[in-house]
Structure 1
Amino acid sequence: MSLFKRRKPLFDWNDADLVMASLGGDRDAFCTIVTRYQNLLCALAYSAVGDLKHSEDIAQETFIEAWKKLDTLRDPEKLKSWLCGIVRFKASHFRRKEVTQPATDAHALDDYEHELPAQGKIEDDLISAQEQALLWQALEKMPDTYREPLILFYREQCSIEHVANQLELSEDTVKQRLSRGRKLLQQAMVNFVEDTLAKSKQGTALTLSVLIAIKDIAPAIKIATFGAGAAKAGSIFKWTAMLATLAAFAGIVSSYFGIRAALDQSRTKRERRSVILVTLLYFVFTFIYIIGMVSLEHFARVSTQQNIDNTKIYAIASQFFVALLITSYIVITVKMHSAMRRIRMQERLFYPEAFQAPADQIGSKQREYKSRICIAGAPLFHFRFGMPEDGDKPLVAWVAGGSHAYGLLFAWGGVAIAPISVGIVSVGIISIGAVGAGLLGMGTIGIGAIGFGASAIGYKAYGSFSALGWESAASGGFSIAREAALGAIPFAEQINNEQAADIASLALFYQSSIWMLSAITFFVVVPAILYAHMVRKRLGKK
């Protein structure tokens, strides 16, 4: 099976699929909904208010309100009934508001004899004001029960079966109501009603109007429920955005205290310049990654809207930017520690006066804290607070913290390896970092059996910008997987449907979101603050 299997045409999607895609911000999916139900809503609105122009306005307002409040739809499979309910409410409100009811009562037929047809939309030009008045006079006295199926039948020029499906009635009921409706019309008016209603059928104009109207309206990203036991469809978009935002905020806080600690460890101008340079390198590559991902997602959306099938190229390119960020973080981190050792050795040689304080002597106890309690031959705690020196070995303890920290339980530092690890590059069962790799990997780039981050790679991947999963992927941007993908730009066997949501375990993700919020906040921010505080205290910085 192909990793990049392209999604099927939107017109082949069912209502639930279109709703879910729309919740993710896919305006093309929503416009497919508009195309699918515009005639039905215009027919129901016209049946209620008796004016073609106003019926179109009411239908358009219905679709715009549906876009804004799509997250309130509890069962996406009942989309049609939900839309019909909105349009009937709006039509009823219109009739109450229009006390004089100009479209219904204002003009007799003689008043239109010398009037020209309206010069608005093309559809309006096809039916003169006189014809509209005559048409509505023929239909006005008919009960809604008979008027709705009659209008829909001739307006769409469709079968009884289709009318029954649209109005959710049995075919026998539709036949009876059409028969009774025809009898209520004078025979002389039947042909005229059929012809004029056929002329009023909607084309692409309403779809375009709705698309323009919703262009600048943010899509609903609240929870949509598919039924008992089903995943909460919109939650992935809401929670990945929230978690990514918190992760970014936590990263900024951690970076601030990390930079402060590094500057406190510095003793010469060269060392301080090196710290600033390395920090800038991290930010430059992060900025390149963000700009690249945002641009590729924009180009992919534009290509989809223009029916240009090259989104696969953008999806592949997005993973190039992910690989670039991973490589840059690892290379900078490894070379940084090597370079800082070399610079410290040189600065000690050329500027010995900068290292006269007791805390700056090699072997000083102020540079490290090592607990006397040992378990299985390893100290319970071991932290290093000074800048890396030539000859320093990685710290090994149950709980370790420093430039290179290996923890039997927990590790924090530049490179951290432990069952629970937090660092610029971290590896463990649960790992959090700029690059976090483990059974559960979280961070800017999360890699693991379950990966979560701005970009995620894993068996199950949940990302903000992109997700690359073996089984499933869920993302607000590119989602690439073998079996199931949820997102704005998905590639998989199952995409943006309930089956995909089940495979991606969205319900489990939703339930564990609070836990991940707490883990990111505690394990990233707290160690950074404590470490920076201890560096300043032990190395004599005020």
Structure 2
Amino acid sequence: MSAVDALIAVELPAARDGDRAAFGRIVAACQNTVTAVALAITRDVSASEDIAQEAFLTAWQHLRRLQNPTSFLPWLRQIARNLARDHLRAGRHRPLDGEGAEIAIELAADPSPTPMQQHEQDERERAAVELISALPEESREALLLFYREGQSSRQVALLLGLSDAAVRKRLSRARQSLREDLLARFGEFAADSAPGAAFTSIVASALTIASPPAAAKGILTVGAAVGAKTLGKIVAGSAGSLAIGVLGGFAGIWLGLRRQLKDAIDDEERRALTRSAGINALTTVGFVIAMLLIVRFDGGWLWPLIAGLAFMGTIFYQSMVVQPRAMARRRALEAQRDPVRAAARRRRERIQCRVGAILGAVFGFGGLIAGLIVSGRL
């Protein structure tokens, strides 16, 4: 058993139970292998790191599907290979850019490259394409890892799940394909392009935002963690999901308020209804922010439950107590004008209100409990 396999055997049980620090140690031990697998396919250093990050996050969220710890590294390698091939099929040959990249850079506290640094990065990417393309496809992973893992064919064999003889054969074919000067350049490139502590830090930061193992969906899933390729994209996806939720809540509050204000009898009633709608809107925003903070800093079930019950309780109180009180004078006038019609209208409103309250409680509380179960918190 290699040192990496031994570390995985020790750390994986805790990681499967949601221990992010344990999984972070697995990331540090396996990142050379995973990025080498992706780089051998994509021939793009930046893309290989994005893909490796996605592979680790995908593995993190599906750890509970893995029954045998000895299968972890082969499983992780296959995830990386599949993602890298998907990357090529989709024609995504450029590194992450746009808003996601800006967020990633800001969170990683990585200053923008100078023109000289950008030139060096471009040269490195061109060298990657040139050097890796010159190798037989089956030898690329082995040679990259050979230079990243202290030039030990035995270590490469353990990391790739091959025999030492098979690795030596692949290394021999690679050496025959490259001139001596290119082989020296390749060795430097492989070592220089290996991920360092910054890579581990980015993945570890992403784990604090991603939902725990086995949590694919639910109220506690913040952003599209499995599909995100970098910490920046995770944060961007989270912001997008939160924005949709907030906008949806505001839309419902605004439409309800418009209908109520249309028949308001005076400014006093309008102010009361507007104030109630404002409280509902602030409650919605507060709930979303609270859930984001809870997912970030707390791994239990109590605080999500308290936040959910407080949110539902506030909305129900405003809808079933405060707003009817604000409209009491209007309803009294309607009863004076046409008692029969007003009574029928009140009955319909009471039925609709009760049905809405029951459905809201069932789906709201049920969704909260389901989210806690799916996320592994309950």
TM-score, structure 1 length as denominator?
0.34
Pick the structure with greater CA Rg.
Answer: 1
Name the structure with the higher strand share. 1
Relative to the length of structure 2, the TM-score reads 0.48
Higher helix share: 2
Q: Larger relative CO (CA 8 A, sep 6+): 1 or 2? A: 2
